[in-house]
Structure 1
Amino acid sequence: MANAEFQIDDRPTKPAVMRGLQCKCPNCGEGNLFTRYLRVADNCPQCDEALFHHRADDGPAYLTILLVAHILGFVIHFMWVQFRPEPWVMATSLTIGAVALSLFLLPRMKGMVVAIQWSRRMHGFGHNG
């Protein structure tokens, strides 16, 4: 144990995840993570951290579906027990809610996945600092 090397965590996960959820650079928290709706910037415009290494793939979509389904499951139950709306009213309002919530959550989930990869030095993020 005397020879064990202890590394300092220079990329703590929690602050990086919080920055990713805000769609900000996981390194500085200032620059925008995205250049468009879901296109991750190659480099942070503020601190020039390389962000092109990310491999978010389908993870953000799965997380978004998981959250939206759980939230809307509760809303369906609540609406039916409390208000008993007409089926077309319930279907229309839940469809609009599902689309709006999905569009809101998807970039935040992608930011979180990219931030986790950055903080854990995954997929090439460890080679740039």
Structure 2
Amino acid sequence: MTANLLPQELPRSAWQSALRGACNRCPSCGREHLFFKFLKPISRCGSCGQDWAHQQADDFPAYLAILVTGHVLAPLIIALVNHTDLPVWGLMALIVSLALVMMLAMLQPAKGAIIATQWWLGMHGFEKPPRPSEKPKSETD
């Protein structure tokens, strides 16, 4: 439901929509928060009325956070092991702490971006929003 939106409020691209979601903003209007709890999205935007109940991000945000964490930490772990004299317990404490912080920091932005992308593409029951180059349906009738 995007009838309440002015055309300039809609995102111009999937990237802009995903960025709004990653920043915990409604991907449709960019005004309201997308999450009311850490990983629990709102059911409907209070500003534009967009229904977010259709989202099905499932485990994909966790997979993305694990993938990024692993790729960032792998070279760091290799460098720490090869170039420092830290004891094993010190390395483990440092690596596990960094991994937990990175994972927790990435989960909500990843979920917001995925929800926004699903909405932009019209997946899982979302109505595909009008694109900037398209005229709204009411004007073409």
1:38-57 matched pairs, under 5 angstroms: 38-57=39-58
1:1-129 matched pairs, under 5 angstroms: 12-126=13-127
Letter in 2 for 1:85: L
Query: What does the per-residue CA deviation read over 1:77-96, in whole Å, with 9 as the maximum and x for residues that have no partner?
Result: 22223323211111001111
User: TM-score, normalised on structure 2?
Assistant: 0.78
Letter in 1 for 2:77: I
Structure scoring higher RCO (CA < 8 A, sep ≥ 6) equals 1
Give the number of equivalent residue pairs.
Answer: 121
Alpha-carbon distance between aligned partners in 1 of 2:120 and 2:129, rounded to the nearest angstrom: 12
User: In structure 2, the residue corresponding to 1:125 is in which secondary structure?
Assistant: coil
Alpha-carbon distance between aligned partners in 2 of 1:10 and 1:18, rounded to the nearest angstrom: 10
Structure 1 ranges of 4+ moved more than 3 A: none
Which moved further from structure 2: 64-73 or 42-51?
Answer: 42-51
- Alpha-carbon distance change, 110 to 28 in structure 1, aligned in 2, over 3 angstroms: same
User: In structure 2, the residue corresponding to 1:78 is in which secondary structure?
Assistant: helix
- Alpha-carbon distance change, 11 to 57 in structure 1, aligned in 2, over 3 angstroms: farther
Which residue number in structure 2 is paired with residue 6 of structure 1?
Answer: none
C-alpha RMSD of matched pairs (Å): 2.0
